[in-house]
Structures are given as C-alpha cells and as structure tokens.
Amino acid sequence: MDTIAVGDIHGRADLLERLLKHAHAFHPDARVVFLGDVIDRGPDSKDCLDMVASELARNPASRLIMGNHEDLMLRFVDGGSKWSRSWCWNGGLSTVASYGYRGFDFLDDDDLVCLSDELAGILRTEQASHIAMIRDAVAFLELPKFVLVHAGIDPAFPMDQQDPYKLRWNSKTLIACRDRLPKTVVHGHTVTGSPFPEVHVNRINVDCGAYKSGVLCATLLPADASPAFILSVVSDELYEIHDTTQYCGLSMAS
C-alpha cells in the first residue's frame, strides 16, 4: 500500500484541505499518516482535527501519530501538574480559540498564562471525539523500508525499545546521527532550514513550518518506487515533486 506521510500541520486547515483533495484525487488508495502536531499555533486546529477524523474513517489503514502538541493537550485535559498548563504557552491558546472558547486564560502567581481547570472539563465533555482520537494515536508506524514518527528515534535501540516520550519530543539524537539506518526515518517536529523538506541518508524531515511558512509538506512513499513530495503552499498551489535530489545535499541514493 502506498503511504502519504503528512508533516506538522499546526492548525493550517487551508493547506491540509488542499493536500488531502490532491491525495484523494491522484492517490485514492494510499493511506494517509499524520505525523503529529496537527494542532496549535495556526488558526484552525479544530477544522484540522475534523479532517483527520474524516480521513481515518475513510481509510481504516490511515493513522494519526502522537505529536508533542497533542501530548500537551492531553496533559492539560487530564489535569496533570501545574506544568501541564504549559500547553497554552506553546500555541494552545489558538487551539482553544478555534473551538470558540474564550475567557478561560489567566495569569498565575508567577505571571504565566494558564488555562482553567473548568476548560479542561469542557474539552473532555464537548470535544470527546477529538480527545478520544488523540488518545488512540500511535507512537510510530513501521513500514518495510521506513519508520514514521513525530520527532525522531534513538538509533541505538530497536523500535520495540524506544522511549515513547522521546519519539514525540526529541529529534536531536536522530539529527546527530550520520550513519545509515536499517530503515529511513520520516519525521517532523524540527522545522527545516528552508520552507522545503530535507532528504538525508537516513531520514526525511517534512516539517516545513507550515504555520509560519505557508508550506505544508507530505512525503509520498510508494510501495514500489522512490519517495516523492507533495507540497501545499499558501498561494493556492500544490506541487508533487518526484526528484528528491534537489533537497538538502544528500539524496536517498547517496
């Protein structure tokens, strides 16, 4: 089965809608794997989650991978420690606003913006389907030639021994690795140095900083061909690019 792995969306429903329309038109049988960070920062997190839910219902093989921003949302909803309220310092306020909720933020004793426990209860009740979908998100997806994950992996350990927390929070260990790996890692989390994807000898980074760059990137992983890119850009254009050698020095063949 062909796979389309979508990088960090961060509330850009306009870009995601265009990308999914292209995927359905030209690759209708491909599963879509969302690499996490669907929410926060951009203006339309609720609409993005609605589109993810529709895609998961359309194709049972499609998956949502847990990103660190989904992790932050769950920590807040579940009423964790004081630091679970850090969701609102990391773009969570825009997600709250996308649901139409206002007036639940306040300054605590340390002059930090926090969200009220009342809002956590409202989200659990009124947005139960979204919360359940996020809870069901997987830590990673392993394919015959690729590993799909939000942030990265520790190359020193097999996938069944990876730390789930690091899979959604830590890209540094993978980025520091220059060696070939048994499978190419497809990830997001760390915004690329330009508004384009990066192809390295052991990984593909498709986080193009959509919320600020206006470029949402997905990588098309055909079952029997080399990877390609699908770029949805803010100028109402969409590109499918099959020559990956133009990105970031190292090609898949190097």
Q: Is residue 85 part of a domain?
A: no
pLDDT at 111: 67
State residue 241's pLDDT score.
87
At 91-108, the pLDDT tens digits run 999 999 999 999 888 877
Please indicate, yes or no, if residue 251 is contained in any of the structural domains.
Answer: no
| DSSP codes of every residue in 148-166 | EESS---TTS-GGG--HHH
Per residue in 5-51, pLDDT (tens digit) is: 999 999 999 999 999 999 999 999 999 999 999 999 999 999 999 99
CATH code, domain carrying 219: 3.60.21.10
Domain that holds residue 40: 3-79+120-246
Q: Domain for residue 86, yes or no? A: no
3-class SS of residue 241 = strand
CA distance 132 to 138: 12
Domain assignment present for 98: no
Q: pLDDT tens digits for 51-70?
A: 999 999 999 999 999 999 99
Nearest to 175 by CA among 222, 144, 143, 207: 207
Tell me the DSSP string of 128-142.
HHHHHHHHT-BSEEE
Buried/exposed code over 207-220 (b: 16+ C-beta within 10 A; e: otherwise):
bbbbbebbbbbbbb
Domain count, the chain: 1
Q: Do 185 and 203 form a contact (C-beta atoms < 8 A)?
A: yes
pLDDT of residue 246: 61
- Do the strands 31-34 and 3-6 form a parallel or antiparallel pair, or are they unpaired? parallel
Whether 64 maps to a domain, the answer reads yes
Please indicate, yes or no, whether the overall pTM of this predicted structure exceeds 0.85.
yes
